[in-house]
Chain A
Amino acid sequence: MAEQFQEPVVEQIYTLNLGPQHPSTHGVLRVLLDLDGEFIIKADPVIGYGHRGHEKMAENRTYKQFMPNSSRMDYLSGLLYNHGFVLAVERFAGVEVPERAKYIRVICAELNRISSHLLWFGTYIMDLGGFTPFLYCFDDRENILDILDRVTGSRLTYSYCRFGGVNRDLDGEFISMTRAFIERLRSRWTDYHNLVTKNVIFIHRTRDVGVITPELARQYGVVGPNLRACGIPFDVRKSEPYEVYDRFDFVIPTGTKGDALDRYNVRLEEMEQSCRIIEQALDQLPEGPHINEVAPFKVKPPRGEIYFAFESARGLTAYYLVSDGSPYPYRCHIRVPSFGNLQVLTEVFRGTLVADAISILGSIDVVIPEIDR
């Protein structure tokens, strides 16, 4: 029916204000929808409700002081952002990092990626009206939070990485907990596939819904799983390997059509690949210090700039830092993946039903505070 959408002949357009308080806008997103019946003629996302001015804050803080801010942009994959910021400053200022710390960071970052994808999985099915998988996912995610809580001391907005290493070392308990968790997660796939992936209602709600073609993705700068779902195997962990990602054997899952079902499958497969990375990292975990004790107390990068890209749970994220040689960044710009991912919706929403719009919005996996910064 969505394919039969035609330009409305009547001039009476029903404007629906979806959000900012709405059960499925995931944060404070407001979308002005012009409707013809239940077909969307035009969608105009309104953002900025969660703008906190992180970029201005960065200019008034030292690099170390800004570190806690970094995990508060995308609160679902805070550790990844934290990791990315630390990596950017380390490369900029030339701080050495011990081998063990690199592995620890990768393990924690990938755990965080799984937790972010698990939360997406649950909330996406909830957007489609299925409540139960949501709680199953939260049950699994709770495990990750416990594991990360053990070593980082926090459950959501981690500030675990330090310039030159990590805050606390891993212990044997952490390693056995992580291995047990991976075992458990793998046994859960069957449940998830039986409950959701093979469900005929779910397939009908997602197949051919919200198709993003490779060209559309390029025009709007769509990145991450959404881009990979349309068949382009682009992942910063492979194309510009940072940290120790080039030492692990993992594949980039891709889709073919770029519809919501592909995005779903890509994310599910990504969790499995993250499990593989964690396992390999745990196997290769070297002995040694977890932090570079001789790292400078006050980081002062040289004059110039750096653009550091990394793969967060939602795609290519980048810190653009300009330094004047002082301990304060002259400018700190954060390129967030959800920015392009959300903007493409203005195009994708056209001609879909309201119910599909919710499905598409969920499948894109945007985190609004990340866009608002």
Chain B
Amino acid sequence: MSNRETITQKLQAMLPADDVCRDESCQAGVLFSAQVPLAKLRDAMKECDTAGYYLESITALDFEDTFELVYHLNCYEPRARVAVRVLCGHDQSPATVSDIFPSALWQEREVHDFFGIEFVGSPDMRPLLMPEDADCYPLRKTFGKVYAYHKRDEIYG
């Protein structure tokens, strides 16, 4: 069984049917999207790791009501990208996945730089791209000039 089928089944087994979405055409670039609760993030990532996926990018979205962390994972097969999405409140701290995917270390540092999200258990949370003495989180919608600050439902609802 190919990696993409393995991981799809694993994640489907782990999560309620409403939270997963499979798009065979990959119109939005992602084959399989899974809305994972914060507590299950590490489990989902471990499954991806054993299925032979690599971590492509970690990024966050800032909404009025919550942060959303988006983990894009991919494997060396055609059209197999998986997005693991985690809602993370403005005062919550997700667990690090840098021990599962070493490449997450820098990407989490980058997210921390830009959004101020602390990753629990990360061995290194020094600023990566921002100066050491920076006192702002530039990609938060409360920083600088912004055109819109929405609730999550206004975009994904």
What residues on B are CB-neighbors of A55 within 8 Å?
114, 139
Residues 133-156 of chain B, each 1 if its beta carbon lies under 8 Å from chain A, else 0: 000001100011111101000111
Tell me whether A56 and B72 are in contact in the complex, defined as CB-CB below 8 angstroms, given that A333-B59, A372-B129 are known contacts: no
Taking a contact as CB atoms under 8 Å apart, the answer to whether A328 and B147 are in contact is yes
Tell me whether A307 and B155 are in contact in the complex, defined as CB-CB below 8 angstroms, given that A240-B79, A320-B57 are known contacts: no
Tell me whether A307 and B28 are in contact in the complex, defined as CB-CB below 8 angstroms, given that A324-B154, A331-B61 are known contacts: yes
Does any Cβ of B come within 8 Å of A107's Cβ?
no
What residues on B are CB-neighbors of A307 within 8 Å?
28-30, 72, 81, 83
Which listed residue (B54, B57, B74, B148) contacts A324, Cβ 8 A? Answer: B148
Which listed residue (B54, B70, B79, B147) contacts A219, Cβ 8 A? Answer: B54
What residues on B are CB-neighbors of A240 within 8 Å?
26, 29, 78-79
Tell me whether A218 and B128 are in contact in the complex, defined as CB-CB below 8 angstroms, given that A307-B72, A322-B155 are known contacts: no
Taking a contact as CB atoms under 8 Å apart, the answer to whether A306 and B155 are in contact is no
Residues 107-131 of chain B, each 1 if its beta carbon lies under 8 Å from chain A, else 0: 1000000100000000000011111
What residues on A are CB-neighbors of B102 within 8 Å?
219-220, 343, 347
Tally inter-chain residue pairs, CB-CB below 8 A. 117
Taking a contact as CB atoms under 8 Å apart, the answer to whether A304 and B78 are in contact is no
Tell me whether A343 and B52 are in contact in the complex, defined as CB-CB below 8 angstroms, given that A239-B77, A240-B26, A333-B57 are known contacts: no
Which listed residue (B103, B131, B138, B155) contacts A221, Cβ 8 A? Answer: B103
User: Bound state CA distance, A347 and B103, in angstroms?
Assistant: 11
What residues on A are CB-neighbors of B83 within 8 Å?
307
Which listed residue (A48, A233, A335) contacts B131, Cβ 8 A? Answer: A48
Q: Interface size class for chain A? A: 35 or more
Whole-angstrom distance between the Cβ of B76 and the nearest chain A Cβ: 4
The B-contacting residues of A in range 48-98, CB under 8 angstroms, are: 48, 51, 53, 55-56, 59-60, 91
Which residue of the partner chain A has the closest CB to B73?
A: A221
Taking a contact as CB atoms under 8 Å apart, the answer to whether A218 and B81 are in contact is no
Which residue of the partner chain B has the closest CB to A333?
A: B59
Does any Cβ of B come within 8 Å of A234's Cβ?
yes
Taking a contact as CB atoms under 8 Å apart, the answer to whether A304 and B28 are in contact is yes
Residues 40-52 of chain B, each 1 if its beta carbon lies under 8 Å from chain A, else 0: 0000000000001
The B-contacting residues of A in range 314-373, CB under 8 angstroms, are: 316, 318, 320, 322-324, 326, 328, 330-331, 333, 335, 339-340, 343-344, 347, 372-373
Which listed residue (B52, B81, B130) contacts A51, Cβ 8 A? Answer: B130
Does any Cβ of B come within 8 Å of A121's Cβ?
no
What residues on B are CB-neighbors of A234 within 8 Å?
76
Does any Cβ of A come within 8 Å of B105's Cβ?
yes
Taking a contact as CB atoms under 8 Å apart, the answer to whether B148 and A328 are in contact is yes
User: Bound state CA distance, A316 and B80, in angstroms?
Assistant: 14
User: Bound state CA distance, A343 and B54, in angstroms?
Assistant: 14
Does any Cβ of B come within 8 Å of A308's Cβ?
yes
6 other contacts beyond A233-B76, A306-B28, with CB at 8 A cut-off?
A: A221-B56, A309-B74, A318-B57, A328-B148, A330-B155, A331-B62
Residues on B close to A: CB < 8 A?
A: 26-30, 52, 54-57, 59, 61-62, 70, 72, 74, 76-79, 81, 83, 101-103, 105-107, 114, 127-131, 138-139, 143-148, 150, 154-156
Can you list 27 residue pairs at the A/B interface with Cβ under 8 Å? A47-B128, A47-B129, A48-B128, A55-B114, A56-B139, A56-B144, A60-B146, A60-B147, A91-B27, A218-B52, A220-B54, A221-B54, A239-B76, A240-B78, A303-B155, A304-B155, A307-B29, A307-B72, A320-B72, A324-B150, A331-B61, A335-B57, A335-B72, A343-B102, A343-B105, A343-B106, A347-B102
Across the A-B interface, give the 9 residue pairs with the lowest CB-CB distance, nearest first: A307-B29, A335-B57, A48-B129, A333-B59, A221-B103, A234-B76, A239-B78, A220-B103, A218-B54
